[in-house]
Chain A
Amino acid sequence: MAMSYDRAITVFSPDGHLFQVEYAQEAVKKGSTAVGVRGKNVVVLGVEKKTVAKLQDDRTVRKICALDDNVFMAFAGLTADARIVVNRARVECQSHRLTVEDPVTVEYITRFISSIKQRYTQSNGRRPFGISSLIVGFDFDGTPHLYQTDPSGTYHAWKANAIGRSAKTVREFLEKNYKEEHMESDTDTIKLAIRALLEVVQSGGKNIELAIMKRDESMKILVQEEIEEYVTAIVKEKEEAEKQKKKT
């Protein structure tokens, strides 16, 4: 017979904080950086790839997960916690298709994930999930979306955002360099995500993993060569900009 826990772990402090949730957010800040950009016709997620040990198989460390044909997500924080959330979300995407005969909207699945996270901040014997996630995709009517969730269970829509280590630096970079007109071009949107990651990732292109989704297409994880192409183009643009500056 299963006995249920009768004591909550996440309780209020005298000044109104939920310390367990805040500690969870600290755990997120230690995770590797993830960046998301919402373009007009493409949505991009990029993550910092941690260097793997020599004997470790590179392909088993995937931080970008497809939830359905039209939605995918990246996370920062405890990988094991993320696995649970991703599995539940994947099942819910299919349940939704079964009961409503329509694919989920990005907002719906974000709301679902946030509800799970919130439930764990208010349950007996459970601790909050130690992850923040960036959820991107296209709705059935073609509108692109980018949402961010955090361990407390709140979610917000963003045009571009970053989570994990050095998220603040990356977000400031995005705020400075995000231009609405550039979002019309797929290449510019992708470049913005890569440039943002390059700010904090050591040694360039080979530590970046990038996934894009164009409207009515499935998620595509870019191969190393494609990323290198973008990186070379970015480096060139930077050099040109420097030269211009020196001239004037």
Chain B
Amino acid sequence: MNEVQNYGPERKIEFLHGTTTLAFKFQHGVIVAVDSRATAGAYIASQTVKKVIEINPYLLGTMAGGAADCSFWERLLARQCRVYELRNKERISVAAASKLLANMVYQYKGMGLSMGTMVCGWDKTGPGLYYVDSEGNRVCGDLFAVGSGSMYAYGIVDSGLKQKDLTVEEACDLGRRAIYQATYRDAYSGGQVNLYHVHSEGWNRVSQSDVLMLHQQYQAEKA
């Protein structure tokens, strides 16, 4: 068994989980909102990272942890999903897709993979949202926030989701606001807010907003 030591030349590569990604289900589907900052220690490596991976026209995956791990495994997942579609003549369910991903990475448990992703989509049972990570967790839920800024994001979404039925517009605003607040307080999150909406026909990219612009906008609203 390849156990990873935490010292010596073969020690686990420390990824920085500096990010904020969130996804929540609501009446009209799933909202997925992410920031776009990549950090290496105190150095901001990039402000324009795409942290939402488009698995196929009706499934999205978010990226937190190691960028290479996330994008590689999710591309592999995209291939598996397509093969399933061809063999069974119907789209794969979100539950099955997330299970395939979880089973794939579980084989590498303890070998240093770092991946915390949310698989979001719409299938014949309605909106689907699963959190999958490289430890082997796979949980179904209505709301997840992953990354160093997740606590700040939870605060906003938890209070905003109190009202039962949000419109698409309101839900998008909530997601955008949550990521903005996380970037405001968390040094490792920032850049732009990329917002996606998953509905019965698939997903579509709602907006890409720079957090500094959002800051101006919200300040003006306060006045």
Contact = CB atoms under 8 A, between A and B. Distances in A.
Interface of A: 99-102, 105, 108
B88 A101 contact: no
Contacts, number: 18
Interface in B178-210: none
Contacts of B100: 99
Interface of B: 88, 92-93, 95-96, 99-100, 103
B183 to A, nearest CB: 36
A101 B99 CA distance: 8
B93 A102 contact: yes
Contact of B103 (A99, A105, A108): A99
A109 to B, nearest CB: 12
Contacts of A99: 96, 99-100, 103
Interface hub of B88, B100, B103 (most chain A Cβ within 10 A): B88
B119 to A, nearest CB: 13
11 contacts: A99-B100, A100-B92, A100-B95, A100-B96, A100-B99, A101-B93, A101-B95, A101-B96, A102-B95, A102-B96, A105-B88
A181 B134 CA distance: 55
A108 B93 contact: no
A100 B93 contact: yes
A-B pairs, 8 with minimum CB distance: A100-B96, A101-B95, A99-B99, A101-B96, A101-B99, A108-B88, A102-B93, A99-B96
Nearest to B125: A102
A120 to B, nearest CB: 21
Nearest to B96: A100
Given A99-B96, A101-B99, A102-B93, 15 more contacts: A99-B99, A99-B100, A99-B103, A100-B92, A100-B93, A100-B95, A100-B96, A100-B99, A101-B93, A101-B95, A101-B96, A102-B95, A102-B96, A105-B88, A108-B88
Nearest to A105: B88
A105 B96 CA distance: 15
Contacts of A100: 92-93, 95-96, 99
Nearest to A141: B124
A102 B128 CA distance: 15
A100 B101 CA distance: 11
A115 to B, nearest CB: 11
A78 B88 CA distance: 30
Nearest to B102: A99
B161 to A, nearest CB: 26
Contacts of B92: 100
Contacts of A108: 88
A46 to B, nearest CB: 30
Contacts of B103: 99
A105 B124 CA distance: 15
B141 to A, nearest CB: 15
Interface hub of A99, A100, A108 (most chain B Cβ within 10 A): A100
